[in-house]
Amino acid sequence: MASGNSGCGRDPVPEPSTSSISSMLRRRPAFLDDSDDDDDDGPVVGRDLYTEEVIMMWNLTKIMKNLSTNEQCVAFAEENGLVHSQKECSIHRKPMKIAKSTNKSFGSWCCTKGNCRAKTKVPRNKGTFFENIKIDLVQVFYLLYAYSHKWSYETVIHEDPYKESRQQCISRPTISDWYSYCRETIVIYQMDRNQVEGKIGGPGKVVQIDVSKFGKRKFNRGHHIEGHWVIGMTEGKDLRLEVSLDNIESAEVLVPLIQKHVEVGTTIHTNFWKVYDCLSQHGYIHKKVIESDPDNPFVADDGSYFYEYLWRRYNVKHRKDPFMELIKVIKYAYK
């Protein structure tokens, strides 16, 4: 229910076997050394993770140990580049101090020179992922963890480690909001790293085409993506997507985007939208289908789930720690 893209084809992750313990004692394979490079997708990890790798990953116990006080969360946010830890006064060119009193979570930047104080005071979380947060920072990080592991709303409420001390449960609208914020940052991240790898389809092959439109985002900053059309082209688990500012309901806009990714001679499945009628004039075999493939993440909801699907699939394939990947995404989207 939370993410609406169940059955999205995640590969099962084998449990680390006992043989991994002996593997731990050996040196890590050299090819893993560059797998954390931001620009490099890294190799697919076709083996069980070593014990040391599993231990490094975040779980709920680790969240409770390392991110259960405001101070811990602020330090973590600084270490991971989610908020700045230094800032100069634009007037005096001197490092500013952090005044704790005015902003509950992060404090505010403040110049100590003369009467500059009032003029330059600015909340430290302004322009960051944490701007205007209405819940405690510890809850935010708990929700980030939950989202990264694709927890249902029920699980989030049930596992919430803070509910006893607060005598209160996290509300569904709060979970929904923060899941949306996470999804938005993933859209920004995935849109920028979406790379074309040749065409899909070909004679005798079927490609499903779906189109959706981004509505207005909850967060009105960072990259602007509202009002964009997104077209998804799927062949089995191979996915291509294009984003267009122009109205995709016109054949002049739509057809070149399809031609860029789909081989001539492909059988294309679409819904009953009129614009697709022209496809048969461009060398495609066009079939209108009533029932879309329920496993296709693109048709499950708006296009943002499609990006979420790609992101989760990448993390599974490359055995990334979903929590740290999400932190990386947030850093990227709000840089």
Q: For residues 119 and 224, which CB has a smaller minimum distance to Zn ion in the complex?
A: 119
DSSP state of 320: -
Q: For residues 119 and 166, which CB has a smaller minimum distance to Zn ion in the complex?
A: 119
| Nearest-angstrom CA–CA distance, 239 and 63 | 34
Q: For residues 117 and 149, which CB has a smaller minimum distance to Zn ion in the complex?
A: 117
Query: Please, what is the minimum distance in Å from the beta carbon of residue 117 to Zn ion?
Result: 8
Of 19, 21, 44, 32, nearest in space to 319 by CA = 44
Q: How far is CA 12 from its chain centroid?
A: 20
CA-based radius of gyration for the chain: 23
The edge-to-edge listing of strands for the beta sheet with 229-235 is 238-244, 229-235, 206-213, 267-270, 285-288
Cβ–Cβ under 8 Å, residues 243 and 193: no
DSSP three-state, residue 285: strand
Query: Please, what is the minimum distance in Å from the beta carbon of residue 84 to Zn ion?
Result: 16
The tokens for 98 are: 């952090």
Query: Please, what is the minimum distance in Å from the beta carbon of residue 121 to Zn ion?
Result: 10
Query: Please, what is the minimum distance in Å from the beta carbon of residue 108 to Zn ion?
Result: 13
Of 75, 73, 65, nearest in space to 133 by CA = 73
Can you give the binding site for Zn ion, defined by CB under 5 A?
Answer: 89, 91-92, 111, 113, 116
Query: Please, what is the minimum distance in Å from the beta carbon of residue 83 to Zn ion?
Result: 20
| Nearest-angstrom CA–CA distance, 204 and 219 | 44
Q: For residues 87 and 317, which CB has a smaller minimum distance to Zn ion in the complex?
A: 87
Q: For residues 92 and 205, which CB has a smaller minimum distance to Zn ion in the complex?
A: 92
